[in-house]
Chain A
């Protein structure tokens, strides 16, 4: 600490050079757990930042754009970290939830690869804006307090189940009644991460073009695509037991995404019986 500041604070005590105890309020004590304690806030922030740091390093480890020690990859990781940290600070009710990194990654990738260099230079800010916008319709899925509410993830998964029952009751019955594959076991990741983990990166971007452009919004659209994913592999599912079905759904086979989106779009209309 600077000598001059010590002497300024030293009015009450003449010589020791220590702050008098009264100058540190209880709430600002480094061990205080009070909500307004700056130290407690600091420690909480540090914890989140460390977690974001660890998760960003685990984002698409197979892609040079995101991973490795090249200067570009480092810059990209820094940008992802900044966006996630700022979002967490601005949304104290949600903060950072694992998986947000996977939602942000495609947005940032697309902006950063804009052929117009001036646009590409603003990738961090642009992706932040879009990330906030996208999550505004989705963040209830990331909020554990809402997990069991009508807007939370469980209820969204139930809607997928209802949709499957409506369009393919035989498959629904086999999955949920006969083999007891609770849709939560696979659809939790499908829905919260908007299918970013189920396909290769290029296919994910293709799916996202549809998700983001559909007038009904990404939430409705992703449910239709999930339902189509089930229907497309119905023969394998109908022949499978609990173990093989769960394995298949947690490692979705590579597929023709154009066809998948076509089938999903068909689900928009009610089944013709």
Chain B
């Protein structure tokens, strides 16, 4: 299928917050209550249409455990968008956002669009982080924000699509250059080309 743009996304956040379940809900429209651990990275892709333009999302779902970060970091490269996910029922996953953000700022393109996602909002009775706190953190750090539920699918589509809309807007406003910004001169994270034109080099030291 042809598309106007290819956006690379990464999904990051602590282990067990529901990153893989968000991806599965978005790509396959189903929910798996007990998902396998993600070891390394898992890959998903889906087409979306924004303002009538077909856009292919290439999504990299990363492992949440700290031990994997040196591997995970190599996937930030060339990413146009990120979903930074926490679990509204586990306070510590919210507390760790600053460190994830720092990682992203350090290893990804500074113009990467980041959507903060408070997942598991169907478990409101076990809520440990208020919606206002999530909003506040997003505002302070210039992120988009949504509360979502991979279980009920609430706001899952929106999280991915609104991120793409923002990236597209940035391209149209010239904030980012689709041909250069993400590729250091080569077509990478954003490209109008065929599959596989995205750079997949493994970051540093390779």
Number of interface residues of A (CB under 8 A): 36
| A182-B39 contact given A98-B15, A148-B70, CB 8 Å threshold | no
Q: Do the beta carbons of B40 and A188 come within 8 Å of each other?
A: yes
| A144 in complex: contacting residue of B67, B194, B195, CB < 8 Å | B67
Q: Do the beta carbons of A98 and B68 come within 8 Å of each other?
A: yes
Q: Do the beta carbons of B196 and A180 come within 8 Å of each other?
A: yes
Q: Do the beta carbons of A189 and B196 come within 8 Å of each other?
A: no
Chain B stretch 43-59: residues in CB contact (< 8 A) with chain A? 43, 45, 58
A90 CA to B204 CA, complexed, in Å? 32
Chain B residues contacting A242 (CB-CB under 8 Å) are: 195-196, 198, 200
A154 CA to B35 CA, complexed, in Å? 26
Q: Do the beta carbons of B39 and A189 come within 8 Å of each other?
A: yes
Chain B residues contacting A99 (CB-CB under 8 Å) are: 37, 39
Residues of A within 8 A of B (CB): 51, 54-55, 57-58, 61, 67, 97-99, 101-102, 142, 144, 147-148, 153-154, 178-182, 184-185, 188-189, 192-193, 197, 241-243, 246-247, 250
Residues of B within 8 A of A (CB): 15-16, 34-37, 39-43, 45, 58, 63, 65, 67-71, 74, 194-196, 198-202, 205-206
Which 5 residue pairs of A and B lie closest in terms of their CB atoms, listed nearest first?
A: A242-B196, A188-B40, A61-B34, A241-B195, A189-B39
A101 CA to B194 CA, complexed, in Å? 39
| A189 in complex: contacting residue of B34, B40, B69, B70, CB < 8 Å | B40
Q: Do the beta carbons of B196 and A185 come within 8 Å of each other?
A: no
Chain A residues contacting B67 (CB-CB under 8 Å) are: 97-98, 142, 144
